[in-house]
Amino acid sequence: MVEPLALKDHTWESRIFLKRIVVGFGILVVLTLFLVARFFYLQIVQHDVYATLSDKNRIQVQPLPPTRGLIYDRNGELLADNSPSFNLTITPERVDDIGGTLEHLNRILGLRDDEIEAFEKRKKRRRRPFESVPLLYRLTQEEIAIFSVDRHMMPGVEVEARLVRHYPRGELMVHAVGSVRRINEADARRIDPVAYAGTDHIGKIGVEKYYEPDLLGQVGYQQVEIDARGRVMKVMESTLPVPGKNLILHVDATLQQAAVDALGDRRGTVVAIEPETGGILAMVSKPGYDPNLFVTGIDHKTYASLRDSIDVPLFNRAIQGQYQPGSTIKPIIGLAGLVTGLITADYFIEDPGWFQLPGKERLYRDWNWRMSGAGGHGKVNLQKAIYRSCNVYFYTLSVKLGIDRIDDYLALFGLGVNTALDLPEAKNGLLPSREWKKENRGLPWYPGDTVNIGIGQGDMLVTPLQLATAVTVIANRGRWVAPRMLQSGSDLLNRSDATRMDSIELIPTHVWDYIIGSMEKVVHRGNQGFGENGTAWAHIGRDINYRMAGKSGTAQVVEIKQGEEYDEEILDERQRKHAWFVAFAPVDKPKIALAVLLENGGGGSEVAAPVARAILDHHLLGSVAPHVASVAGGEE
């Protein structure tokens, strides 16, 4: 049986087709609505967010580092400048493979391991995204040309021109001005990242450190449009940086040079102060070093040679060196005796060449004592004790005064404290007392301790700056002016942690006249017979045509045992006495006061006094007598 042929149901098929069209159209409408909604969300609701993200890829805000303030001496000579430096920098966000890039740069420029290590450290402490990181400083023209050939192969690597610190006088002014150095990890943790945006250096020592807030200036910014390779297409907006303030110091660069010449090749230091203002005219510490080595990074070998040198050139002897003052403090001890009434100008002693405490066996000897028993200054009053530097007189006087009064009077002249206004590394020295010895040694104060302090020996320590300051107070007859480097350019001078000293009052004029007159005889009393000339007369006082007040001193480095005589010839050079000389001039209207120290130099009058004379001649007369210059410079 054959089944009947089925015919197509066009109506049913049409309904199926229509349903499919409706469903498809519905899906299309839903998708379209979803797409429209998404467009609305992105373009309207999230417009600001995505516009910002787009701008971040296209627009950058770059810091504009300020120009660091300049530093001048009192005569307008430039001591700290800014010079252009072409630096090779890398912006990590623009480099796909930093390791490969460094390898490429190593092949064409020859990078040192320490340079790569320093770059990695700088990259880690980078403060802002898209901030370039220096790899090499001070590229030569040849290095720039070599890099330029392959520059297209290294996106994100650029040669940038920046101003970096430069010290035209190099080693001459390093211990007076200080220096800047690159910002390290410790600096990065404490500084304001906004203030130092785009800046790689910070003041680390001396004036550069103390006046950093003024010298730094204020950072500026520019908004730039960049292309896909990170190149700046145009500057859209900018705020210019504010340059740092320029500073003028009291320092006289020509006097500084005269002091360096006078010291010659010997280790030592000079601090010279203007009594009227307290301005530091010269501050020399020898040997020194070139601060320019540190500005863009010193290599390990060079730094190790400076750090490990037996002559410690990195050490600022003028403000950090702490030495026994020796006989240079005798005028202050004498002043204390007169003011307290324990002695008078007519008080005499007989000096046999030694002093002995009652009931004690030890002999405290005079500087001219000899093993033969010869020595002593005979009949001595205070004036002779100062100009002949008679130890026995001051042994006797120190016992009369006692350590408490000695401490009180030495403190009046700024010993034992840091009175400098703008030298952050200055040390306090040490003014020992009963309490100090009990606390630090666990021992009582003995009369013998007082005897030693009376001639500037024992535990007492001073810095050359402190001693120059004390001499300035004598030159000013008790009027106090704190030592300072700055003459003008900043409001930071009133340092909160610097000790303020009041002028010394209630000291009669005749006492100042007597003490200063005695110091004047140290230099000018001559041809009076054996044992009656000032200790410095034969060395600097014969042909001087201005009036100078001075005092020599020596400080023992090694102890000389009882019964032994000091013999320089048998001692190692570094075991010999330190030589001091302090002075001011002219006596009637002082224009300069100074302290000179030569390490292991021997006698203060023979060695340090000619250095002081050469410096004073230069400052007061504009030239140095040839024979004085040769002796001062160590040629004789």
- What one-character-per-residue DSSP string does 327-363 give? GGGHHHHHHHHHHHTS--TT--EEE-SEE--TT----
Residue 368 sits in the same domain as residue 438 = yes
Q: Are residues 223 and 336 in the same domain?
A: no
Domain presence at residue 12: no
Torsion of CA 11, 17, 22, 28, to 10 degrees: -170
Six token digits for residue 561:
């045992």
* Backbone conformation region of residue 217, classed left if phi is above 0, alpha if psi is from -120 to 50, else beta: left
CATH number of the domain bearing residue 577: 3.40.710.10
Report yes or no on 3 lying in a domain. no
Quick check: is 208 in a domain? yes
DSSP-assigned beta bridge partners for residue 484: 279
Q: Structural domain of residue 564, as residue ranges?
A: 253-484+501-632
Q: Are 200 and 275 in the same domain? A: no
262 and 367, same domain (yes or no): yes
Give a yes or no: residue 340 inside a domain: yes
**Residue where a domain stops, chosen among 190, 219, 249:** 249
Identify whether residues 419 and 532 lie together within a single domain. Answer: yes
What is the DSSP-derived secondary structure letter of residue 308?
A: T
State whether 388 and 528 are in the same domain: yes
Q: Which residues of the chain have pLDDT under 70?
A: 1-8, 46, 48-58, 126-130, 224, 226-233, 235, 368-374, 494-500, 530, 557-575, 603-604, 624-631, 634-636
Dist CA 129 CA 56 (whole Å): 11
Give how many domains the chain has, as a whole number: 2
Q: Which two tokens stand for residue 327?
A: 């006989």
Question: Is 238 in the same domain as 350?
Answer: no
The answer to whether residues 543 and 618 belong to one domain is yes
| Within-domain flag for 11 | no
CATH number reported for the structural domain that contains residue 122 in this entry: 3.90.1310.10
* Residue finishing a domain among 201, 216, 249: 249
pLDDT in tens, 458-471: 999 999 999 999 99
What letter represents residue 225's amino acid? E
pLDDT at position 625 is: 64
Position 636 scores a pLDDT of 38
Domain assignment present for residue 544? The answer is yes
pLDDT confidence of residue 558: 46
pTM above 0.85, yes or no: no
Q: Of 215, 249, 283, which closes a domain? A: 249
Q: Are residues 228 and 279 in the same domain?
A: no
Catalytic residue list: 327
